[in-house]
Structure 1
Amino acid sequence: MLIQSLIYHDFTLIDLVGALQPLAMIPGAKTEFVAKVEGPISTDSGVVMVANRNFKNASQQPDVLLVPGGGKPSIDILEDKESIDFVALQGERAGWLVGVCTGPLLLAKAGLLKGYRAAAHWAVIDTLDAFGAIPVHERVVIDRNRCTGGGMTAGVDIGLTMVGQLAGKELGQMTEMILEYNPEPPFKTGHPTISDRATIEKAKQMFESIAPEDRIRSIAATE
C-alpha cells in the first residue's frame, strides 16, 4: 500500500504526521513524500522533511493521496498552478483522497471536491462552498473515496478512520490502543463550539490575517 503525500515549504507538520502515524501501521504500507523539487522542505514547526519524489517522478497510482494544510503557505499554494495541477492529476489516479486542516482547500481548488461533502479547519470550512464542495461541520467526513477533516490534531482521527477503511475495524481498534489515543485537552477550548468568546475572537483575528476569507473566495473564482 502506497501512501503519497504532497509537501510544500512551511506546511503544518502535525497535519501530516498525525494522519500518517496510524496509516504507517498498516502492514506493508510505504510512504512517498512529493514536492515540486526533491530535497529538504521546511515545516512550520522547524522540523525539516525530505521530499523523495518530485512532480515528474512521483508514483502515478498511490493508494492514498494525503494533503496536509497549514497557515498562509497553504493559501499561497492555492495560486501555484503547477502544484494544483499535480494534485488534480494524482487525485484522479489515487484510490483515496485525504485532506487535513486546510489541505481540503487544495483538493477543492484542484476540482476534486465538487459535489462532495467535506470538512476542514473551522477557520476556513465555510469557504469550501466557493469551490463547489458541501461544507460539513464534523471532525472527519467521508464521502465516497474522499476523507477530509478538521485542523491539525484531527489528523489523528483522520488517520485512524482511514486505517479502518483500508485495513478493517479490528486493526483500527488496535492502532487506536497502541497510539494511546485518549485525549484530555487541558483547556477545553479546542473548537468554537466549546470555547469562550474571548478566545474565539482572538483566534478568528489571527486566522483572518493569515487566511482571509475574501482571499480564499477570490482564489476559488479564478480558473
Structure 2
Amino acid sequence: MKILIYVYDGMTMLDAIGPYEALRYMTNTEVIFVAEEIGGVKADSGFIDINVKYSIEDINYADILIIPGSPVGFMKEMNKEHVLNWIKEVDKVTKWTTSVCAGSIILAATGLLSGLKATSHWKPIKLLSEFNVIPTRERVVEQGKYITAAGVSAGIDMALYLSHKIVGEIETKAIQLTIEYDTQPMYNSGNYSSAGDDVLKIADRKLSKDAKKELGLLGMLKNSKNILKMIR
C-alpha cells in the first residue's frame, strides 16, 4: 500500500503528520511525502521544515493520496495548474483520495469533488461551494473514494477511519493504541457547533492574525485583502 502525502509551504504540519503517524503503522504500507519540488517545505508557523525527497515529477502513482490544509497556503496551491493536474493524474489510480482541513479546497479546485459533499476547517469551509461542492460540517465525510476531514486533529480520525476500511477493526484499534490516541479534552469547544460566540470571535481573531503572518511568509501581501475576505 503506497500512501502519498502532498506537502507545501504554509501547510499546517499536523494535517500531514497526524495521518502519517497513524497510517505508517498499517501492515505493508509505505508513506511518502511529496512536494512540488525536492527540498525544504516550511510549515505555516514558519518554524518547522520537512525535508522532502520526492517531487510531483518523480511519483504519479498511489493507493492513497492525502492533501493537508493550511490557514492561507492552500489559496496558492489551488491556483497552480500543474499541481492540480498532478492530483487528477494520481487520482486516476488511487483507491482513496483524501484531504484534511482546507486541503479539501485544493481538492475541490481540481473539479474531482464537483456535486459531492465535503468538509473542511470551519473558517474557510464556505469556499467549497465555489467549486460546486456541498459544504458539510461533519468530522469526516465519505463520498465514494473521496474522504475529507475537518480541521487539523480530524486528520487522525480520518486516518483511523481509512485504516478500519483497509485492515479492519482489530489492527486499527492496535494502531490507535500504538499512538495512544485517547482524546479527553478539558473543554467541549473543539467543534464549530459547540463553541460559544465569544470563543468563536477569539478563535477567528487568532486565525486572522496567523493568516496575515503567513501571507507575509508566502510573499502574497499585495493580495492580502482579497484573500482575507475570502476566508472570513
Q: Contact 1:4–1:32 at 8 Å: present in 2 too?
A: yes
Taking the aligned partners of 1:161 and 1:116, their CA distance within structure 2 comes to 19
1:156 aligns to what? 156
Match of 1:118 in 2: 118
* 1:82-161 correspondence to structure 2 within 5 Å: 82-161=82-161
Query: Matches of 1:212 and 1:56 in 2, distance apart?
Result: 29
Residue aligning to 1:9 = 9
8 Å CA contact 1:141–1:148 kept in 2: the answer is yes
Q: Indicate the residue corresponding to 2:53 in structure 1.
A: 52
Query: Relative to structure 2, which stretch is displaced further, 20-29 or 42-51?
Result: 42-51
| Aligned equivalent of 1:21 | 21
Distance 1:170 1:68 in 2: 27
Q: TM-score, normalised by structure 1?
A: 0.89
Q: TM-score, normalised by structure 2?
A: 0.85
Residue by residue over 1:122-171, the C-alpha shift from the partner in whole angstroms, topping out at 9 and shown as x without a partner, is: 11222212212222211011111111111001111011101011111221
Per-residue CA shift, 1:78-126, capped at 9, x if unaligned?
1222222222222223221110000001110011111222111111222
Tell me the equivalent position of 2:81.
Answer: 81
Q: How many residues align?
A: 216
**Contact kept in structure 2, 1:16 and 1:68, CA below 8 Å:** yes
Code of the aligned partner of 2:132: G
Aligned AA (2:5): S
Match of 2:230 in 1: 215
Using the TM superposition, give the Cα deviation of residue 207 of structure 1 relative to its aligned residue in structure 2, in angstroms: 4.2
Q: After TM superposition, which residue ranges in structure 1, 4 or more long, deviate above 3 angstroms?
A: 205-216
Aligned to 1:220: none
Within 2, Cα distance between the matches of 1:104 and 1:90?
A: 16
Counterpart code for 2:230: R
Match for 2:62: what amino acid?
P
Residue in structure 2 matched with residue 188 of structure 1 by the alignment: 188
Pairwise CA distance, 1:61: 2.2
**What displacement does 1:212 show?**
5.0
Aligned CA-pair RMSD: 2.1
SS for the counterpart of 2:182 is coil
